[in-house]
Structure 1
Amino acid sequence: MNTEREIIERADDAAPVEMLTALFEAHGWAFEQVSDDEVTVEIPGSWTTYQLRGIWRREDRVLQLLCLPEIRVGEDKRRNAFELLALINEQLWLGHFDIWSQGGMLLYRHGLMLGDDGMLSLDMAQHAIESAIAECDRFYPAFQFVLWGDKGPREALDAALVDAAGEA
């Protein structure tokens, strides 16, 4: 297993999927390279294990990161879930939460626009992944409160943020 230091010594920047796989390998996370342009990994979070997908769009030089907390939103809860999404997304500087129209899967999505060379630095990769996991962990309880605790969106968000602020 390579350490982050060994990755840095190999190259400062790399093709996006190559950098992500090297980073996942360094952390010891089980990953699968789906294609030359896509990799998926499972990363443990505070509340659950997240599936993270990195999808490279060569033509746009954009790396899209999708973080899936394995939460499906039933039709009966969609209205409150969408209101909660709007309240949460107002607070985010990077990325956003969404619900896939097919299947109701909750996800966090963030796109990284890379330069003309299409290369990804280790720092950028690490920060983007850490941010995705942190945001999913931060708001996971709010989704639980709405979907399983029958709280209203504002009440769920307030309760989740108070709980998160109280954690040590």
Structure 2
Amino acid sequence: MSLAEEFFVGDDLHPIDLVESLAADHQWEFDRVTENQIAMSVEGLWRSYAVTLAWSPQDETLRLICTFEMEPPEHRRAELYDVLNRTNDQVWTGGFTFWSEQNLMVWRYGLSLAGGQVASAPQLNHMISAAITACEKYYPVFQLVAWADRPPAEAMHLAMAEAYGRA
């Protein structure tokens, strides 16, 4: 039994307490920003991702935001927005947006826990894993469009290819 599973025994644990336990279990760097928010750094293959989860008791929603820095040239922004739309058509558990003022690519997802529902450790682990997986899958696509002047439709072929094994 993992640390997170051992920690999550009661029915009324705060969702951020559970995320904190998962972060410790995975040995991710984290900071409990407030009672309702935690920020983590998760290492991927392409880069480190900043992951923030925030609990809104009023909305009964756990929001996940996974970001990475990206400073596309101004003249490629239209193509970047095009590839973001194409990407979001393919993903099911969240969506990408680009925050131009902060130069951040952002994956967002909100988990509704309305009616007193409780998130489980496997559910939260999957939520974080899905965010990192999406960022890893589409990071090269965004880079090709922004820096290699590839058309969005062509760059999307890279995300559709599944790699097996290691080079």
Provide the TM-score with structure 1 as the length reference.
0.89
- Map 1:95-134; keep pairs closer than 5 Å: 95-117=94-116, 119-134=118-133
More off after superposition, 34-43 vs 8-17: 8-17
Asked if the contact 1:16/1:118 (under 8 Å) is kept, the reply is no
- Match for residue 4 of structure 2 among 4, 7, 26: 7
Measured in 2, the distance between the counterparts of 1:167 and 1:46 equals 15
Shift of 1:131: 0.4
More off after superposition, 113-122 vs 61-70: 113-122
Corresponding residue number in structure 1 for 2:70: 71
- Map 1:21-100; keep pairs closer than 5 Å: 21-100=20-99
User: Kindly tell me: are residues 51 and 83 of structure 1, through their superposed partners in 2, closer, same or farther at Cα, counting changes over 3 Å?
Assistant: same
Asked if the contact 1:66/1:110 (under 8 Å) is kept, the reply is yes
Paired AA for residue 78 in structure 1: R
Measured in 2, the distance between the counterparts of 1:89 and 1:126 equals 22
Shift of 1:160: 3.8
Task: Give unpaired runs (5+ residues) of structure 1.
Answer: none
Shift of 1:71: 1.8
Paired AA for residue 120 in structure 2: S
More off after superposition, 41-50 vs 98-107: 98-107
Measured in 2, the distance between the counterparts of 1:167 and 1:141 equals 17
CA distances 1:62-114 after superposition (whole Å, capped 9, x unpaired): 11101112223443221111100010000011100001253342111011011
Measured in 1, the distance between the counterparts of 2:7 and 2:93 equals 29
User: Kindly tell me: are residues 10 and 104 of structure 1, through their superposed partners in 2, closer, same or farther at Cα, counting changes over 3 Å?
Assistant: closer
Shift of 1:167: 4.3
Measured in 2, the distance between the counterparts of 1:90 and 1:137 equals 17
Measured in 1, the distance between the counterparts of 2:57 and 2:99 equals 23
Shift of 1:44: 0.8
Measured in 2, the distance between the counterparts of 1:75 and 1:105 equals 14
Identity %: 29
Provide the TM-score with structure 2 as the length reference.
0.90
Corresponding residue number in structure 2 for 1:141: 140
Corresponding residue number in structure 2 for 1:19: 18
Measured in 1, the distance between the counterparts of 2:83 and 2:112 equals 27
Asked if the contact 1:80/1:146 (under 8 Å) is kept, the reply is yes
Measured in 2, the distance between the counterparts of 1:98 and 1:17 equals 24
Match of 1:166, SS? Answer: coil
Match of 1:103, SS? Answer: coil
